[in-house]
Amino acid sequence: MCMCYSYLCIFFLDRNALDPLKEDERNTTRLWSLYCYTADNNIPLFACNLSPSTALYQKVAREVICVREFKHYLLALNVRSRGASTLITNLLHQRQPFNEYDEPWQAQFDDGASNEIYTASPAPSIVGLMFSRATWLLFKECQVILFAIKTYDYVKESYEIVLNPGKHIIQENDLCVYICESIKEVRDVNLLVSYHLDLHFSSIGHHSLS
């Protein structure tokens, strides 16, 4: 494995391993075996494990994700906010909608469960728009939910996510975070032209005056 051209290194594991501790031990060994090289070349390491206690031996990694810990977090979140774990699981899980339903509520649930989270640069047509206006336009035209913006922090030299920044003016170097059914809807957003904006906002003004 050549690491000289890598931006980062992620250590995955077998979630179905018969002995989770043994699997974590092997993953930790792999992590440490590459640490000396990656530290000299400034390559960040990311590790996954099955047991929370294993994280103590993986401190050389920039981030450690524990499968069991994440499951417990989702259960705790569900206690505070009903249905939160279902919402997050559905957004992280990729699936196609069904064609037939026994009950009307199943169609509504399946429509929402088939959505995923996508991140993309803002379409030229929404650059310069207030976030709240862009959100309304994208849902009206493309059935895409714009719910967050990643703004670039020049001090930290990294992106920071801001949820529902109503009065934020969308910039060219921002990243838009969408909820939609597929990447096709994101492409539809990029095909929007300023003509649609002028048409919609002029009609809003007409109705408000009348």
Q: For 21-60, how does the pLDDT look when each residue is reduced to its tens digit (9 = 90+)?
A: 888 888 888 888 878 777 777 788 888 888 878 877 888 8
Q: For the chain, give the mean pLDDT.
A: 80
Please provide the size of the chain in residues. Answer: 210
169: which strand partners? 130
If asked whether residues 46 and 127 sit together in one domain, one would say: no
If asked whether residues 122 and 187 sit together in one domain, one would say: yes
If asked whether residues 64 and 139 sit together in one domain, one would say: no
Which tens digit of pLDDT belongs to each residue from 128-171? 999 999 999 899 888 899 999 999 888 888 889 999 998 999 99
Is pLDDT larger for residue 193 or for residue 192? Answer: 192
Question: Rounded to a whole number, what is the largest CA-CA distance in the chain?
Answer: 72
What pLDDT, on the 0 to 100 scale, is given for residue 55? 79
If asked whether residues 66 and 113 sit together in one domain, one would say: no
Q: By three-state DSSP, how is residue 72 classified?
A: helix
What pLDDT, on the 0 to 100 scale, is given for residue 206? 41
If asked whether residues 114 and 191 sit together in one domain, one would say: yes
What pLDDT, on the 0 to 100 scale, is given for residue 197? 53
Order of strands, sheet of 45-49, starting from the edge strand that comes earlier in the sequence: 9-11, 45-49, 63-66
Domain count, the chain: 2
Domain encompassing residue 188: 109-209
Structure tokens at 197: 């904006």
* Beta carbons of 47 and 58 less than 8 angstroms apart: yes
pTM: 0.58
Order of strands, sheet of 116-120, starting from the edge strand that comes earlier in the sequence: 116-120, 175-180, 145-153, 158-163
β pairing state of 116-120 and 63-66: unpaired
Q: With bands split at pLDDT 50, 70 and 90, how would you rate the model's confidence at 172?
A: very high
Does residue 95 lie within any of the structural domains? no
Does residue 173 lie within any of the structural domains? yes
